[in-house]
């Protein structure tokens, strides 16, 4: 059977990372986490003491990085210039820096070709903000995963220790505004994407719903 190209977009804490990974595992497809690439740029920018709002400085960093992904004991490892950054990119400071550097067209252009190369040939689930609209506009199946702001804040609050629910809700609101409001490749549902609202649903239910859509697409393909 032909292997599909599946694009999953959605806002922060919509559950898209977990869902995309589980769908890829079930189908035996590759999983590409494009947010991890923006996070890696954010990490390097912070380490270099560059202001994430500096378009020239952040673009130079993005252009200099070499990315690799591999699976290790069921976990996706993100390798940048031979350094495993998988753990270092998973915190709020790096997430905020990723969202800030992702505003710059030069940064996006630097990552685009790598993302397209990773998606070429099918048998891949790629998640992010602009996969269905910009990176893989001819993907076989496009899903837009969403959930209410309150639900996303509740989920993130349950994962993180040390922050109040109100603080997390405020950070998510700011992140949504920055990701949806930027001029280049903003977070937006593609016209031909199917919207899946995960509010009130477990991860298992959402994975099942997405796999059912994959089956329909395969039968119809």
- Of 100 and 209, the one with the shorter C-beta distance to ligand DC is 100
Q: What is the largest CA-CA distance in the chain?
A: 51
Task: Using the minimum distance from each CB to ligand DC, give the nearer residue, 154 or 218.
Answer: 154
Query: Of the two residues 51 and 215, which places its CB atom closer to ligand DC in the complex?
Result: 51
Q: Each residue of 56-89: b (16+ CB within 10 Å) or e?
A: ebbbbbbeebebebeeeeeebebebeeeebbeeb
Alpha helices (H) in 126-198, listed in sequence order: 149-159, 165-181
Which residue's CB is nearer to ligand DC, number 25 or number 92? Answer: 92
Closest distance of CB 110 from ligand DC, Å: 12
Residue 55 or 218 with smaller CB distance to ligand DC: 55
**Contact 104/81 with Cβ under 8 angstroms?**
no
User: Cα 12 vs. chain centroid, distance in angstroms?
Assistant: 8
Closest separation between CB of residue 168 and ligand DC, Å?
13
Applying CB under 6 A, the residues found at the interface with ligand DC are 12, 34-35, 38-39, 95, 98-99, 102, 128-131, 175, 179
**Least distance from ligand DC to the Cβ atom of residue 219, Å:** 29
Give me the least distance between CB of 33 and ligand DC, in Å please: 7
Q: How far is CA 52 from CA 13, 45, 65, 177, 182, in A?
A: 22, 7, 16, 17, 14
Question: Closest approach of Cβ 172 to ligand DC, in Å?
Answer: 10
Residue placing its CB nearer to ligand DC in the complex, 4 or 131: 131
- Taking Cα atoms as reference points, which of 94, 179, 93 lies closest to residue 129? 179
Q: Nearest approach, Cβ of 179 to ligand DC (angstroms)?
A: 5
What residues pair up with 205 in beta bridges, in sequence order?
A: none
């Amino acid at each position: 059977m032909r292997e599909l190209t599946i694009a999953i977009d959605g806002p922060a804490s919509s559950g898209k990372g977990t869902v995309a990974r589980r769908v890829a595992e079930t189908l035996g497809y590759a999983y590409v986490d494009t947010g991890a690439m923006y996070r890696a740029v954010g990490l390097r920018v912070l380490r270099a003491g560059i202001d994430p709002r500096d378009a020239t400085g952040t673009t130079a960093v993005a252009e200099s990085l070499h990315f690799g992904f591999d699976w290790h004991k069921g976990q996706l490892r993100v390798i940048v210039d031979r350094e495993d950054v998988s753990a270092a990119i998973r915190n709020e400071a790096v997430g905020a820096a990723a969202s800030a550097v992702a505003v710059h067209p030069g940064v996006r252009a630097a990552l685009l070709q790598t993302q397209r190369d990773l998606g070429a040939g099918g048998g891949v689930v790629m998640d992010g903000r602009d996969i269905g609209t910009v990176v893989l506009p001819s993907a076989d199946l496009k899903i837009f995963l969403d959930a209410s702001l309150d639900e996303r804040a509740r989920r993130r609050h349950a994962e993180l220790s040390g922050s109040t629910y109100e603080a997390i809700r405020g950070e998510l609101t700011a992140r949504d505004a920055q990701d949806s409001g930027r001029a280049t490749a903003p977070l937006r549902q593609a016209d031909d994407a199917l919207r899946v609202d995960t509010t009130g649903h477990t991860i298992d239910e959402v994975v099942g719903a997405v796999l059912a859509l994959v089956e329909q697409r395969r039968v119809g393909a």
